[in-house]
Amino acid sequence: MSTRIKDNQLIFQIPNSEAISVVQRGSILKRCVCNFYLSKKDAAVETFLNGCSGSFYVDLAASYALCKAPFMTLIENCSSLYRNKLTALKATLDSIERMLATRPDSLLFSICPPSILRSRKYIKFGDSSLAMSYFRTLCLGDITQIIVRKMAPSSFLIYVRPFAPAVASFSNPADFQKWLDDNTLAK
C-alpha cells in the first residue's frame, strides 16, 4: 500500500518509479513522474487535506535531520545500485547543510496546495523552487516516505523520512538488494 492515513498523518510510500530520475535505481525504465499514487484513496486524501486547500509547508530541515545519516551510509555502501551513483543526493545533502549554516529560515517554506490530478490516481506537489527540488531529491524510491502532518484543520507540514525497515540494510549492498527484492512496491 503506497498511501495511508494514520491519525494526523498522510503517508506516501514512494515507489522507485515515482522518484525523480537522478535518484532512481537503474532497474526500471528511466522516467520522472514526481506525482504520488493515491492507492484508490483519493476521496479520503482530499478530505484529509481539507479539499487541497489551506497552508502547506515543507520542512527541509526536519527531512535533512531524519535522512542525513542513513543516506550517507547508503551513499557509501550502495550507490552502485543507483543511476548516477547518488551524486545528486550527495550534492543535495551538502547544499542543505550549507543552507542550515547560512540561511536556516529558508528550510521551512510555504508551497502551493497540492492537487489531485484529473484521473484521481495521483497527487502532485507543484512547487518548482530550488528548495522543493532538494526535497524531491531526498525522495528515494521504496526506502522513503513523504509525511504530510496535519497541524490544524487547514495547516499541513510536509517532510521526508527513511522507511525504517530498509535502513538496517544500507550497510551492505547484497543485503540491501535482497531487502529491495523482498519489499519493492512494484510487486
What is the distance, to the nearest Å, from the Cα of residue 5 to the centroid of all Cα atoms in its chain? 16
Question: 11 to each of 85, 161, 174, 185, how far by Cα in Å?
Answer: 27, 10, 28, 14
Round the average pLDDT of the chain to a whole number and report it. 90
**What backbone torsions phi and psi does residue 94 show, to the nearest 5 degrees?**
-65, -40
* pLDDT mean over 151-173: 96
pLDDT on residue 33? 57
The secondary structure of residue 24, as a DSSP letter, is: S
**Would you place residue 1 in the very low, low, confident or very high pLDDT band (cuts 50, 70, 90)?**
very low
pLDDT on residue 27? 63
Read off the pLDDT of residues 50-97 as tens digits, 9 standing for 90 and up. Answer: 999 999 999 999 999 999 999 999 999 999 999 889 999 999 999 999
Instruction: Give the Cα-Cα-Cα angle 182, 39, 35 (nearest 5 degrees).
Output: 90
Q: Does residue 146 register a pLDDT over 50?
A: yes
Read off the pLDDT of residues 94-125 as tens digits, 9 standing for 90 and up. Answer: 999 999 999 999 899 999 999 988 788 888 88
Q: Does residue 35 register a pLDDT over 80?
A: no
Percent of the chain whose predicted confidence (pLDDT) is above 90: 67
| Alpha-carbon torsion (64, 65, 68, 71), positive or negative | negative
Alpha carbon distance 168, 175 (integer Å): 9
pLDDT on residue 34? 64
User: Between 122 and 160, whose confidence is greater?
Assistant: 160
Percent of the chain whose predicted confidence (pLDDT) is above 70: 94
pLDDT on residue 14? 87
* pLDDT mean over 138-145: 93
pLDDT on residue 30? 56
